[in-house]
Chain A
Amino acid sequence: GAGVSQSPSNKVTEKGKDVELRCDPISGHTALYWYRQSLGQGLEFLIYFQGNSAPDKSGLPSDRFSAERTGGSVSTLTIQRTQQEDSAVYLCASSLEVPNTEAFFGQGTRLTVV
């Protein structure tokens, strides 16, 4: 596709429910990143994929958070038993694996846990 696509754009869920957030990266981009941003603040790193493997998932805040990537393309971030503190904008980005290339970001999924 032309850019990084994230769905849904907005998600309101009840506390305790599970949610799945989807990221469709730019075709050919083997590197994929998930970040979390609260209230227009800084970016909190969650997980980095290189192809289908995740060499760095050090940023996942708890075992309620998991992510997978299949076919080296689409990635899903799953949050189980959501809590109010999970409310944030979840941003996905992709890039070529070459480290001197910039990442391209999706518009994000705004998650609100009520």
Chain B
Amino acid sequence: GDSVTQMEGPVTLSEEAFLTINCTYTATGYPSLFWYVQYPGEGLQLLLKATKADDKGSNKGFEATYRKETTSFHLEKGSVQVSDSAVYFCALSAQDSSYKLIFGSGTRLLVRP
């Protein structure tokens, strides 16, 4: 079945460091791909999305490119801030499914001043 695999956390970085959080997926066809962010004690917020191969989603300095050949959607940011500390979820919506988001297990990011 369809699935999403994320790198295990926590990821601990110093402020202004470069961030990569790896995400790979298994799905038939061309799923839509998403990154959601969850701040402490809150629900999830959509960070960015990509709906077809080679699309790049970007928002708030974060970006991710839909790579069909490697079935990946890695999240990157050039310079992280303390306020970026949160849990990041990669998710997919399969081409043949109109309703279900399949989430990865989440990666906690901790940014130290």
A binds B: no
**Which residues of B approach A to under 8 Å, CB–CB?**
none
